[in-house]
A and B are shown apart, each in its own frame.
Chain A
Amino acid sequence: MAEHPPSWAVFALPVLLAAVALVTAGADALLAAGARAGPARSPREAAARAAAPARGVLRELVRQPRRTRAADVALVRVGAALLPVAAMLAGVVLPLGFRSVSDLPEGVVWYNAMEALAWAAVWLAGWGPNSALSLIGGYRFLAQGLAYEVPHMLAITTAALGAESLRVGGVVDAQSGLWFAVWMPAAFGIHLLSALAMAFWGPFDRPAGRDVAGGAAAELSGVDRILLLGGRWLLLVVAAAMSVPLFLGGGHGPLLPGWAWTVVKTAAVLAFLLWARRRVPALRMERWTEAAWVVLTPLAVVQALVVAVVVLHR
């Protein structure tokens, strides 16, 4: 069912992803301001609150950049730039409706490989500035990565197994009837958790946490800071959007066209994550590692086993 996209889609994808990331960040800022200072008294105030991330971007652009002594500037630049690039590359296999920029034959593995580049990116951005707090942030992310990656890989493998295809389009086609989220609930839940962990956001924001003065992003300023913190939102958006073709039926749905269903479902997943963030306390990496290895990994293996048995007897 996958169709070829027009050639301008390559250029539209980064713009679209960046726009969705900015809207999501704006919604998060609106919720944060509402929790801090009460509900907005006028639509104008609400708009001003939602525009806070965009104002932050502009402020970073005009502000005098800070430098640290004996920083490895090249590694900082590579690390900060790699994060949004990795998120964009992972987004290449995201279908809008039934069309993605490139429906690679190994799309699911490609998505996994590209979001894994975040490991290198965050560690480099943490190491480069020659600052203890940002170094701690970089190491925290590696520890968090070791926790989330194994259950995450098993969860997306389970979706591919259920569809008997590594192509994201194939996974969507296999869900024209029953969504994978319905009969693979554990894999779906693990995917949402690892989406938060890989974007080191919400309950998993310790790598850039306030207790280490911003962690991996502590010493970044100017464009580097925009790239790393923006790349984090992009990664969150791409990972949340990826749960739609993998588990929520992609563009399948009644009445509305495919692209509209993708937009509605992605918005619902992002809204759920924004809501959940305000209901869950922050989780330290070492506790999360234990939960991930002792509970989630066996759970993901059992889920994969159940799906494998169902697929064999279909």
Chain B
Amino acid sequence: MEFVVFWVPAVLAVGCGALVFRFDSMARATFSLLASLLCTGGLVVLLGLDYLGVVVVLMMTLEMSVMAVFMVMYMMNPAGLTPMTMTHNTRAAAVVCGLLFALLAAGILSAPWPDRRGRPPDDPTLDLGMSLMGPQMLTMMTLAMALFATIVATVVLATRRGRYDRLGDGLRARRADDPVPGGVGR
């Protein structure tokens, strides 16, 4: 039973990942990648890390759905109605990948791995929360502020209209001049 529960998502994850490069359609490629990531989330659950696995499923679903919009927007031939390829410079890429794989495999096989000490905690979710929010609270707060500042900065840089367009040069307009009427306070 455990054999099936591991190998089915494992094979599906790798298979769907490979299919991303076979599909012509951006929609198919995006959701093939999502299927691969969902299977990976299932494997994380199998490791006993239920919370992380479910969060992987949640985050990847939302993220890949939004990603589909961008894939369709920026890639040529989004609907895949004519053939296209997702791979470029295949020969050099194959050589680089082969070398990297050999290097990593040699490292894995030759490294002196330590024996396991201790045992897994009763509640991995609690331990995860404690290790993130306990001693690393300052790191997490800084990280959160940095991420939030990045989001705000990106939106400010990306938007064509600022507050002076909305409320006039002195910011004194009583009604904001927005391209979409309605909304909060108007």
Contacts and interface: CB of A to CB of B under 8 A. Distances in A.
Interface of A: 70, 72, 74-75, 78, 104-106, 109-110, 112-113, 116-117, 119-120, 123-124, 127-128, 130, 139, 142, 145-146, 149, 166, 284, 286-287, 290-291, 294-295
Contact of A109 (B28, B58, B80): B58
A100 to B, nearest CB: 16
Nearest to A143: B69
Given A116-B61, A287-B182, A106 B125 contact: yes
B66 interface: yes
Contacts of B69: 139, 142
B54 interface: yes
Interface string B14-55: 000000000001011001001000000000000000110011
A83 to B, nearest CB: 13
B64 interface: yes
A139 B73 CA distance: 12
User: Taking each of B65, B182, B184, which has the highest tally of chain A beta carbons within 10 Å of its own beta carbon?
Assistant: B65
Interface of A is mostly: helix
Interface residues of B, number: 27
A123 B68 contact: yes
Contacts of A116: 58, 61-62
Contact of B28 (A72, A166, A286, A290): A72
A78 B31 contact: yes
A119 B65 contact: yes
A157 to B, nearest CB: 12
A145 B63 CA distance: 11
B180 A286 contact: yes
25 contacts: A70-B79, A72-B27, A72-B28, A75-B28, A105-B123, A106-B50, A112-B58, A113-B54, A113-B55, A113-B57, A113-B58, A116-B61, A117-B61, A119-B61, A120-B34, A120-B64, A123-B68, A124-B27, A124-B31, A127-B27, A142-B65, A145-B62, A149-B62, A286-B183, A287-B180
